[in-house]
Amino acid sequence: MIPPLNRQHDAYIQHTIDMKTKPQGALGKLETLAHQLVSILSQGMSRAQLEAEKPAIVQPQMMIFAGDHGIAAEGVSIAPSEVTGQMVANFATGGAAINVLCAQLGWQLSVIDCGILTAPAPELGIVSQRLGHITRPLHIEPALSEAQLDQGLLYGQEAVQTALDSGSNVFALGEMGIGNTTAAAAIFSALSGLTGAETVGRGTGVSAEVVEKKQQLIDQALLLHGDALDDPREVLRRLGGFEICQMVGAMLEIARAQKVILVDGFIATAAAMLACRIEPVSQDYMVFAHCSGEQGHRRMLNELNAEPLLDLNMRLGEGSGAAMALPLCQSALAFYYQMASFESAAVTQVVDTHE
């Protein structure tokens, strides 16, 4: 059971925001972000504790989950499956986009091999939580076995434990897995009732013909798996991937611990949708970092009633969009704790006449 966010401080938090020396609402999404962050970070605290302790972001943790996809053999990506493992090695040696962003912005980074074609060399320091080499092609049979689903959810939980134990309270989950925009679009279709044509996009940048092929494979998968897709766990097992499965397990565990989840792009949001279908209150702990350039992501966010913080036309994955939202979270908390109030600064309070 995931505890819903205790809203006991809600009115106080909103009042604090409204009494800052600014027109009401003038800090826009930073205000709703501050409200959600303070609310999550002050769980279990009295109002006096919240005022005294000013809970801040501690050791923000980025975790990249990597897995290979059987569907990639259909040529749904610009790259072959081998690139998943090669990029994992690149993450380990610090050369990928996500390494640069994490180093610049202050994220701790860990990489988890959830099952890629070639296991990385042990000296690379990648966490090994392998469920196999590659998933089965989702348009022909369930991508994961029942045992892999259960083990994957458990591995995901375990992956976040060390960081939780050492005090991390903001997490972002990234992914690497050639072919996984096809899996994510299939998951989105299954959960929303939309056709493949409405959920697919260009992923790494495939041609219009390949996009059409992705649609057909998804529609074929929806037909094949049929009514089994009424159950979100079965959607994950049949259409997901080793990395998506562990991301769902990790998200549920972070929500259970009442910490912040910064949700990345199209694939991470598919995992978030699954977590929300399995345990709806987990959404209380999710901050939607950005709207990806992947077609379908905006629609996915709408389905969740989620308002993304950023819209940078990024379409990379790896957790890169989520990484970019950390400074916004820091700014939101900074204004909440550090700005003067009308009273403390002796500024005449302005009354908002807008709707």
Ligand X SMILES: Cc1cc2ncn([C@H]3O[C@H](COP(=O)(O)O)[C@@H](O)[C@H]3O)c2cc1C
Residues in touch with ligand X (CB under 6 A): 77, 79, 83, 87, 175-182, 203-204, 316-318
Whole-number Å distance between alpha carbons of 79 and 207? 13
Which of 179, 196, 203, 296 is the binder for ligand NIO (CB under 6 A)? 203
115 binds ligand NIO per the rule CB under 6 A: no
Residue 265 interface partner, choices ligand NIO, ligand X, none, CB cut-off 5-8 Å depending on type: ligand NIO
Task: Give the per-residue contact string, 146-185, with ligand NIO (x = CB under 6 A; - = no).
Answer: -----------------------------------x----
Residue-by-residue DSSP string for 340-351 = PBTTTTT-PPPP
CB of 286 to ligand NIO, least distance (A): 15
Pick the closer one to ligand NIO by CB: 181 or 258. Answer: 181
Whole-number Å distance between alpha carbons of 199 and 89? 31
Residues of 159-177 as b/e, b for ≥16 C-beta within 10 angstroms? Answer: bbeebbeeebbbbbbbbbb
CB of 115 to ligand NIO, least distance (A): 18
Specify whether 146 is catalytic: no
Three-state DSSP class for residue 111: strand
Residue 77 interface partner, choices ligand X, ligand NIO, none, CB cut-off 5-8 Å depending on type: ligand X
Whether 94 and 61 have beta carbons less than 8 Å apart is answered as no
In the set 209, 318, 343, 355, the catalytic residue is 318
CB of 204 to ligand NIO, least distance (A): 5
Residue 176 interface partner, choices ligand X, ligand NIO, none, CB cut-off 5-8 Å depending on type: ligand X
Contacts of 128 (CB under 8 A, 6+ apart): 112, 113, 119
Whether 61 and 168 have beta carbons less than 8 Å apart is answered as yes
Task: Give the per-residue contact string, 255-284, with ligand NIO (x = CB under 6 A; - = no).
Answer: ---------xxxx-----------------
CB of 241 to ligand NIO, least distance (A): 13
Pick the closer one to ligand NIO by CB: 6 or 204. Answer: 204
CB of 65 to ligand NIO, least distance (A): 12
240 binds ligand NIO per the rule CB under 6 A: no
CB of 180 to ligand X, least distance (A): 5
Nearest to 330 by CA among 23, 5, 13, 41: 41
Whether 224 and 142 have beta carbons less than 8 Å apart is answered as no
Show the CA angle centred on residue 128, arms to residues 124 and 129, nearest 5°: 160
Residue 79 interface partner, choices ligand X, ligand NIO, none, CB cut-off 5-8 Å depending on type: ligand X
Sign of CA dihedral 283, 289, 294, 298: positive
Which of 204, 220, 331, 341 is the binder for ligand NIO (CB under 6 A)? 204
Helix (H) or strand (E) holding 193: none
Whole-number Å distance between alpha carbons of 33 and 290? 13
Whole-number Å distance between alpha carbons of 196 and 32? 33
315 binds ligand NIO per the rule CB under 6 A: yes
| Residues within the interface to ligand NIO (CB under 6 A) | 181, 203-204, 264-267, 292, 294, 297, 315-317
Catalytic residues: 318
